[in-house]
Structure 1
């Protein structure tokens, strides 16, 4: 298990977060069966997106650092889903460098997000996960999230459509 420090992201981290997001999403989506030869790697989250997220804390962003290297990040805030109570938080993004998978980095990021959401007064948390992303599903279910079967939806991701489901748990 790797020991990492989790800290709030700074503006200087934005470019590395964008780079890590693109690389890690590509790696994660390799295992998904999309019926397309084109990988559904979202590219809309550029350095500019992450700078604005960090500056305005929407979402709040924390990074996992191994020495001076950013090896993961988590973005969290109130739920973006319409009609949800103000006490429902959401993990907007959680990504870990593939070289660090299975080493406790994701858990450290989840712990930091959970604490941050509790400080904000959230009593529950949700996350949207592609159904075909077995690794992400397994991680979140082991962390205590439960699938909301009625929430399944199809979302465009690049040139393909991906089935997502919301997972939720009490904090």
Structure 2
């Protein structure tokens, strides 16, 4: 008999930037496998990706929390105020949320979402949004189950490497 997975979620610390950057690369590859050609994934050079995560952790823009299975980072979430133009300052946004493929469907994403939701509520946010590629059925299903609703009039095309993908914004109230 295996014991249930025990996941701790807490704010990331600077020394974890490399582990977050590494997980970002591997989780992106797993999440987008079959949706985007491999050569278009992770086109950001690792030194630049590492620098971006270090700055996010150091300056809290976005806030970053990590999920730990023991002492290993198995997921992370970046969140803050919405980056969309014209939104009120009570609108938060999940900027990114990734879980190691080895920990999919084990409650890690939910634990990260719960932590981000609590932090956004503490900051006075009343709603939260997230942008998801239309073809990423796993992510769409996750956020549907978390109570997000698709905003059909928000579809947009964004670059990913040398290709473009269609994304849609999802939104939900923070109650």
TM-score (norm 2): 0.93
Say if 1:5 and 1:65, in contact at 8 Å, map to a contact too: yes
2:127 & 2:66 partners in 1: Cα distance? Answer: 22
Asked whether the 8 Å contact 1:78–1:87 carries over to 2, the reply is yes
Which residue number corresponds to residue 41 of structure 1?
A: 42
Say whether 1:111 aligns with 2:130: no
Matched, 1:82 2:85: yes
- In structure 1, stretches of 5+ residues that fail to align are none
Separation in 2 of the partners of 1:102 and 1:145?
18
Q: Distance in 2 between matches of 1:5 and 1:167?
A: 26
Q: Which segment drifts farther, 54-63 or 41-50?
A: 41-50
Alpha carbons 1:22, 1:42 under 8 Å: kept:
no
Structure 1 runs (4+) deviating above 6 angstroms are none
Q: Alignment partner of 1:86: what SS?
A: coil
User: What does the per-residue CA deviation read over 1:80-125, in whole Å, with 9 as the maximum and x for residues that have no partner?
Assistant: 0000000000000000000000000000000000000000000000
Corresponding position: 1:15 with 2:28 = no
Structure-2 separation of matches of 1:100 and 1:60: 22
TM-score (norm 1): 0.95
CA distance in 1, matches of 2:42, 2:170: 21
Larger RCO (CA within 8 A; separation ≥ 6):
1
- SS of alignment partner, residue 92 of structure 1: strand
Q: Could you tell me how far 1:47 is from its partner in structure 2?
A: 1.0
Partner SS, residue 62 of structure 1? strand
Offset, 1:37: 6.2
| Aligned-residue offset at 1:133 | 0.5
Query: CA 1:83 to 1:30, structure 2 compared with 1: closer, same or farther past 3 Å?
Result: same
Selected match of 2:68 from 58, 65, 69: 65
Question: Is the aligned partner of 1:94 residue 2:92?
Answer: no
Aligned residue for 2:146? 143
SS of the aligned residue for 1:38 comes to: helix
Shift of the 20–139 alpha-carbon distance from structure 1 to 2, 3 Å rule, reads same
Q: Deviation per CA, 1:15-65, whole angstroms, max 9, x where unpaired?
A: 000000011001111131x4x563433526611100100010000000000
Mean Cα deviation higher: 36-45 or 123-132: 36-45
